[in-house]
Amino acid sequence: MPRAIRLGVIGAGSATFSVGLVRDICLTESLAGSSVVLMDVDRERVETMHRFAVRYAGELGAKVSFEWTTEREAALREADFVINTAQVGGHTQVERLRAWSEARGYYRGFRLKDCLQVRMMVSVVRDMERLCPGAWLIQASNPVFEGCTAMTRATGIKVCGLCHGHTGYYEIAEVLGLDESKVKAQVAGFNHEVWLTNFEYEGRDAYPLIDEWIETKSEQYWSDYHPHYGQNQMSRAAVELYKLTGLFPIGDTPRRGGWWYHTDLETKKRWYGAPLGGFDSEIGWAMYLQELEKRVQRIHHAAHDLSVRLTHEFKPRITGEQHFPLIDALVNDNEVTLQVNVPNRGAIEGIPGNVVVELPAVCSHRSIQPLQIGKLPEVLMLTHLYPRLLEAEHVVALSLHPDERVLMRMLLDDHRTKSWEEAVRFAREIMSLPEFAEMAGDIVRPRHGFDS
Amino acid sequence: MPRAIRLGVIGAGSATFSVGLVRDICLTESLAGSSVVLMDVDRERVETMHRFAVRYAGELGAKVSFEWTTEREAALREADFVINTAQVGGHTQVERLRAWSEARGYYRGFRLKDCLQVRMMVSVVRDMERLCPGAWLIQASNPVFEGCTAMTRATGIKVCGLCHGHTGYYEIAEVLGLDESKVKAQVAGFNHEVWLTNFEYEGRDAYPLIDEWIETKSEQYWSDYHPHYGQNQMSRAAVELYKLTGLFPIGDTPRRGGWWYHTDLETKKRWYGAPLGGFDSEIGWAMYLQELEKRVQRIHHAAHDLSVRLTHEFKPRITGEQHFPLIDALVNDNEVTLQVNVPNRGAIEGIPGNVVVELPAVCSHRSIQPLQIGKLPEVLMLTHLYPRLLEAEHVVALSLHPDERVLMRMLLDDHRTKSWEEAVRFAREIMSLPEFAEMAGDIVRPRHGFDS
């Protein structure tokens, strides 16, 4: 008989995420009888989401109960599962920190926020050790790679990161004009740094089809097409990353790649298409935030307007996100292969066991069992996975044990940093920002202070 | 009874190295009866060194025989030991390549030469597999780190790299005013990236003495003192590296450190002292080459002038280099602890087993047995050893399996590279230089060519 669960959702005020979550749990019949505690520090937002959830479940007649709270402990106590979708300070803080670092010469900002996110994630699993030590933590908000690595190193809580970026290969199939139902693929690496390790069409290697497209059609595609900000999968940057590594980058992977795609807006346009310059340019990102805000407003209006039939406005369709398939597999043994982020423990050769990797895994009542990936191409390791791992180790170390020396190396490794003195000044200024006050309280500094 | 050996010396035309070698073997009585084959592609130089060696041994009455050759095979055949001190193309080539990359915006050059050196080293051990598969290869010329790592991965030849840089802690003792005979130290890491893991004075931790010197005397020292180009051990850069890592950098280590010490001559002067700007500035390096040339001339004149008594001009003193103590330990079981470069195999935690590390080892007839170093400070790993290892892996990979994609990443990781297009152009130009013709013949390029 299916077993109901108690689920805590941290950061449930995130309207877009929570709407999907409400839909999915209401539609997962084997989880009927479950109770969900929606938690957010923003009382108004979480109360709104609670209204939405209760009405939505009511319209569907789904046997799922919802509570809300602003206290994290209330969401964790006796939970079987915790989904963490929280973003410290929300987009407002991200944009404030971005503007602050842009004023210091870091176009589109220095990734300061990651450490704050990772520290928040670690504090959640530390609370779980007290309040629900046997529960699973499912990490939804970014950075999944560094966050899951830090959480699994800092505590014994069972952690799995989930992301939908690996489905990006469908976009490849679409652009290539392939019938999606005949495509098979496997994707592995680190979250937001995943690579198409296997690509088949009608049972045969389909990489030659990509090569043919690059040779005969890509230039035409790039000159005709002015992609939406979210469409980076077949960008010039993605193809160049394929040339550089031997495997095609998937999902969010081409958004990043390396400093050389991101030096200024013109360069971004060259690699990600004009006029937007991709997801992460000042134009693309502003559009994303705008659309996000519109969706949030739409959800909030609907939640408060009792004349709206929610299941008409937000159709009861499974989202395709992996959270409830994973929970259902772990709880009810509905075995399924999902794309997960868990400690490597030998699945990918050459990556230490305590680094969280993204790869397919068979999920069932037994546990999450990653498929052995083995050896990835050496050139991929050298040009992308090792450099990315080093960056991640810096973020993880700085988050778990704040140290000005590690922060200095991160700044000095940034291609935009022009001198030692600039890095010293920037490191000091960062740690005097109010956002970093708690972290600065813990920070280790060299005995004699840096020379400036 | 002591056993004589047959020793091949590759690159024996290097006058300064060979003079030391001749002195040391003539003075190592337990190796009496040994024969040495001096090999160099420069016939004149090697013949000169041969004259020098024969006369020097004659004056001392040492029972060591010397031959010379320009054929590598003749030096390897039936050798028990091979010392490789060769530098492909000599200093002339280094300076030509440096000038070439400086003209493209790389101040003091891009480290192009390393791959040529590593390929030469690997070709030597490959020849040894045919001609003297049981012999030891002792690597003297640079880069020892990348070279030894590549050689041990490419063949089964026993390899040990030697360097004298680890003795730099004596200079610390001297500047601190300590009695050298009461100092004990241990040094570990990668060659030219070694760190003072242990420092004792009169049996007690002497790091507090360094800290005190930094706090109370260093500024005075740096303002009073205008160091010789070779004196980088107590430079401002060295102290800053200590602050950044928690351990003091030793020997050649502070010469490198990070791009931020080397952006221009003024910056070099700030970190390595005025007016020279350290060993590797245009001024320091020119002085070094000048003094080197003077020593070479002096040796050549002496070798050809029969009226000179060589043992008066070049006193018969043991140099302190480790080559013959190592050989003597391996052959005659005269056990000694030396600073060696051998595959890690677990000696330093967190470094893969097939990476060559520098550390103390007990050397005897049994073999070379490194001392277990264990865990180095995490901050040292994150700020220096891991970043340096990634650079080395690029050089090793590029040398063993030339690949334009790895070369691209090396160029893109260089803080002086300003754009993707610049890297593409530079990579192409490098591989069309005559020096790289042989390497370019083997190189793998991406199927579709890079976008430029």
> ipTM value of the model?
0.95
Which among A170, A160, A111 is positioned nearest to A135, based on CA atoms? Answer: A160
Residues A214-233, mean pLDDT to the nearest whole number = 90
Dump the DSSP string for A343-389.
E-TTSBTTS-TTSEEEEEEEESSS-EEEPP-BPPPHHHIIIIIHHHH
List, as ranges, residues 419-448 from A with C-beta within 8 Å of B. Answer: 419-420, 423, 446-448
Among candidate residues B252, B280, B308, the one where a domain is terminated:
B280
Q: Tell me which residue of A410, A446, A415, A442 sits closest to A427, measured CA to CA.
A: A410
Residues of A in contact with B258 (CB under 8 A): 412
Percent of chain B with pLDDT over 90: 94
Coil, strand or helix at B187: strand
Strand partners, B370: B361
Interface test with B, best of A115, A235, A409, A426 (most B CBs within 10 A): A409
Angstrom CA distances, B385 to A416, B79, B289, B353, B378, stand at 22, 35, 30, 15, 10
Q: Is residue A203 assigned to a domain?
A: yes
For the annotated catalytic residues of A, the residue numbers are: 164, 252
- Three-state DSSP at A429 gives helix
Taking the Cβ of residue B336 and every Cβ of chain A, the question of whether any pair is shorter than 8 Å is answered with: no
Judging contacts by C-beta atoms under 8 Å, the chain B residues touching residue A261 are 420
Alpha helices in B306-436 (DSSP H): 310-313, 323-332, 378-380, 386-400, 404-413, 420-431
CA distances for B288 relative to B6, B229, B280, B293, angstroms: 33, 7, 9, 9
Q: Is residue A222 within 8 Å of residue A213, measured between CB atoms?
A: no
Q: Report the alpha-carbon distance of residue A192 to residue A380 in Å, rounded.
A: 15
User: Is B295 contained in some domain?
Assistant: no
C-alpha distances in angstroms, B270 versus A425, B260, B276, B308? 18, 11, 10, 45
State the Rg of chain B over Cα: 22
Owning domain of residue B211: 166-280
Report d(CA A212, CA A176) in Å as an integer. Answer: 9
Encoded amino acid at A317, one letter: R
Q: Do A412 and B245 touch (CB under 8 A)?
A: no
What is the rounded CA–CA span in Å between residue B281 and residue B250? 19
Report the distance separating Cα B279 and Cα B162, nearest Å: 20
Residue B377 DSSP class: P
For residue B194, the cross-strand partners are B189, B250
Return the SS3 of A290. helix
Q: Who's near A36: CB < 8 A, 6+ residues apart?
A: A7, A8, A9, A25, A53, A64, A65, A66, A67
Coil, strand, or helix at residue B66?
A: strand
Question: pTM for this one?
Answer: 0.96
The span from the CA of B19 to the CA of B48, in Å, is 11
For every residue of A71-96, which 3-state class applies, written as one string? CHHHHHCCCCEEEECCCCCHHHHHHH
Residue B320 lies in a domain: no
Q: Tokens 């003192």 sit at which residue?
A: B225
Distance from CA of B275 to the nearest CA of A (A): 20
B78-125 pLDDT, tens per residue? 999 999 999 999 999 999 999 999 999 999 999 888 999 999 999 999
pLDDT at A1: 64
Number of domains in chain A: 2
| Residue A225 within a domain | yes
Provide the 3-class DSSP secondary structure of residue A280. coil
Of A191, A23, A167, A15, give the one whose Cα is nearest residue A91: A15
The residues of B annotated as belonging to the active site are: 164, 252
Interface of B with A in 166-205 (CB under 8 A): none
The answer to whether residues B411 and B426 touch, using CB atoms and an 8 Å cutoff, is yes
Mean pLDDT of chain A: 96
DSSP B198: E
Average pLDDT over residues A180-195: 97
Chain B contact set for A246 (CB, 8 A): 405, 446
- Identify the residue among A412, A416, A445, A450 best suited for mutation to test binding to B, counting B beta carbons within 10 A and taking the highest: A412
Instruction: Confirm whether B77 is domain-assigned.
Output: no
**Cis peptide preceding A275, ω within 30 of 0:** yes
Query: Residue B358: CB partners within 8 Å, gap ≥ 6?
Result: B144, B145, B161, B163, B166, B187, B188, B189, B190, B191, B194, B339, B340, B341
End-to-end, the C-alpha distance of chain B in Å comes to 67
Cis, peptide link before residue B275, omega less than 30° from 0: yes
Which pLDDT belongs to residue A15? 82
* Cα gap A127→A154, rounded to integer Å: 12
Cis bond upstream, residue B2 (ω within 30): no
Task: Considering only residues B168 and A229, tell me which one the structure prediction assigns the higher pLDDT.
Answer: B168
Identify the pLDDT of residue B263: 97
CA distances from B53 to A329, A445, B62, B93, B177 (A): 78, 55, 10, 27, 39
Cα–Cα distances (Å) from B158 to A193, B61, B87, B151, B355, in that order, read 39, 32, 21, 9, 14
Neighboring chain A residues of B420 at a CB cutoff of 8 Å: 240, 260-261
β-pairing verdict for B35-39 and B6-10: parallel
Do A22 and A52 form a contact (C-beta atoms < 8 A)?
yes
Q: Which of B263, B280, B297 is the last residue of a domain?
A: B280
Give the whole-angstrom CA distance, residue B92 versus residue B111. Answer: 15
Instruction: Identify the CA nearest to B358 among candidates B136, B163, B150, B172.
Output: B163
Whole-number Å distance between alpha carbons of B387 and B381: 8
The mean-pLDDT minimum among B13-22, B134-143, B341-350 falls in B13-22
Which chain A residues are closer than 8 Å to B406 by Cβ? 379, 382-383
- Is B365 inside a domain boundary? no
Please name the residue that has the structure tokens 């070099």: B268
C-alpha torsion angle, residues B277, B278, B281, B287 (rounded to 10): 110
Structure tokens at B33: 């009866």
Question: What are φ and ψ of residue A290, in 5° steps?
Answer: -65, -45
Question: pLDDT category, A229, cuts 50, 70, 90?
Answer: confident
Is A245 part of any domain?
A: yes
Cβ–Cβ below 8 Å for B383 and A405: yes
Spatial distance between the Cα atoms of A150 and A393, rounded to a whole number of angstroms:
9
> Contact A100/A433 with Cβ under 8 angstroms?
yes
Neighbours of A366 (CB within 10 A): 11
B174-195 tens-digit pLDDT: 999 999 999 999 999 999 999 9
Contacts of A245 in chain B (CB under 8 A): 405
Contact B448 A215 (CB under 8 A): yes
Least-confidence region, from A92-101, A123-132, B218-227:
B218-227
Nearest to B390 among A386, A401, A448 (CB): A386
What pLDDT is recorded for position A404? 96
Omega before residue A143 within 30° of 0, cis = yes
Please state the length of chain A: 452
* Residue in the structure block whose two tokens are 């003209």: B103
Amino acid at A385: L
One-letter amino acid for residue B392 of the chain? A
- Which of A139, A431, A384 has the alpha carbon at shortest distance from A261? A384
pLDDT surpassing 80 at residue A48: yes
**Which secondary structure element, helix H or strand E, spans residue A338, and what is its range?**
strand A336-343
pLDDT value at residue B1: 64
Handedness of CA B167, B172, B175, B180 (dihedral sign): negative
Q: What is the pLDDT of residue A230?
A: 81
**pLDDT tier at A62, thresholds 50, 70, 90:** very high
Question: Among B229, B254, B280, where does a domain finish?
Answer: B280
- Please state, for a pLDDT cut of 90, what percent of chain A lies above it: 94
What pLDDT sits at residue B111? 83
- Pick the closest to residue B43 from B68, B72, B67 (CA basis): B68
Provide the CA B266 distance to its chain's centre, in angstroms: 27
Residue type, A391: E
Q: Are strands A193-201 and A65-69 parallel, antiparallel or unpaired?
A: unpaired
**Number of C-beta neighbours around residue A222 at 10 A:** 18
| Chain A, nearest residue to B215 by Cα | A448
Tell me the pLDDT tens digit for each residue of B225-265.
878 888 899 999 999 999 999 999 999 999 999 999 999 99
B144 located within any domain: no
pLDDT for B143 equals 97
| SS3 assignment, position B333 | coil
Residue B57 has pLDDT above 80, yes or no: yes
Structure-token pair, residue B326: 């190592």
Tell me the shortest Cα–Cα distance from B406 to chain A, in angstroms. Answer: 6
